[in-house]
Amino acid sequence: MKIISGGVCAAKGFTAAGIYSGIKKNKEKKDLALIKSSVKANAAVVFTTNNVKAAHIGVSAKHISDGMAEAILCNSGNANTCTTNGAEIALNTCKLVGKSLHINASDVLVASTGVIGQDLAPQPFETGIPQLVSLLDDSEEASNSAASAIMTTDLVDKQYAVSFELAGKTCTIGAIAKGSGMICPNMATMLAFVTTDVAISSEMLQKALSDDVQDSFNMVSVDGDTSTNDTCIILANGLAGNPKIIEEGADFDVFKEALAKVTIALSRMIAKDGEGATKLIACEVTGSVDKKSAAAIAKSVIKSSLVKTTILGADANWGRVLCAIGYSDIDINPDKIDVAFASAAGKIMVCEGGAGVNFSEDLAKKILLEDEVEIKICLNVGTEKATAWGCDLTYEYVRINGDYRS
């Protein structure tokens, strides 16, 4: 498997574009993106589990019900959530894309991200969509533009792509994602759009995606808030020419491995770019009786505000880690738990058998001052493991969200 450039345009037959259309106040920031497959593609999706959902979710869910799609349109700057005409805007947007691309409106999927509860005007779409269509390209720059156009408070765009072989055919998976705040998915991610030229049925594509998000996007938390707009879409157009994957087996396993490579890379990027964040935190839980328990504990630690501030201050206050493990609702034996902190500066054991050990505070601080920090927890009761990703909690996070609408 090889990491390659190109993002969402890396796979055969995919083009993209991103522009400023007038949705955002800042004209220097793009706010409308389009991704297009040259042929109708098999498709799969996961949406937010929040009971308050953006209008695009109902529309896209209906359009993807046949397991097919050909284009994705995403706007940033407005969530199109909790408004009186959200569904109408989303439907009309699909019609505009369909007309401009000469495809069926039902083969268009839409997504939105931004401020909740503000009406989304139709005019930016009416003028922006034809412009997007004219700019569609399969270049790396086209993926860059689309990735920039779906950002809100993100400081960096998020792209990743890999190539691999299936039955002697070179295949590719590429993706773009956005996410910085209101991040604690219970499905997939904030917004992620994945493209692949692998030939795979929509049923197997859905199985691969639904399984994958449990170990990738669902293991990310920036602030504990699950968005109303979370959407992850994957399109597979089959242009790589591999024998179509229609059941589990060796080829399906290779595809899932490649997909995980992409989604986990994006998950780490999202966590590291958390609003106001200065550090990426990875929490690895090993020695668990089952994977579900390990995942719940890792997520509990990552979500803890006290753990997050401990990492911010580079203070080896390991008791906060034990506390977060304890309220995870998982049956544990505290007397068996070991905890260590690790980074590029080294590794230090701070707790063994549920009790503190003598350690160098100076080395611990040096380890915790790095911009990527690992919290290593061993439960010592089994063989299963899981990893979650998050970030520190800073004063800047409060500032950003104190005046988000402005």
Cα dihedral 338→343→346→347 (10° resolution): 0
Q: Do the bridges between strand 191-196 and strand 231-236 make them parallel or antiparallel, or are there none, so unpaired?
A: parallel
Phi-psi region of 2 (alpha: psi -120 to 50; beta: other; left: phi over 0): beta
Q: Which residues contact 93 (CB under 8 A, 6 or more apart)?
A: 73, 108, 110, 125, 129
Task: Tell me which of 81, 93, 172, 189 is the catalytic residue.
Answer: 189
CA distances from 14 to 112, 144, 187, 245, 294 (A): 21, 14, 25, 20, 38
Q: Is 175 helix (H, G, I), strand (E, B) or coil?
A: strand
Place of tokens 């529309």: 59
Q: Which two tokens stand for residue 370?
A: 């790095």
Place of tokens 């349109």: 73
CA distance 359 to 316: 10
CA distances from 168 to 141, 165, 239, 240, 367 (A): 29, 6, 14, 10, 44
Write down how long the chain is. Answer: 406
- Radius of gyration of the chain from its Cα atoms, rounded to whole angstroms: 22
Give the number of other CB atoms < 10 A from CB of residue 59: 26
For residue 195, indicate whether it is catalytic: no
Q: Which of 169, 168, 176 is nearest to 17 (CA)?
A: 176
Residues annotated as catalytic (active site), given as ranges: 189
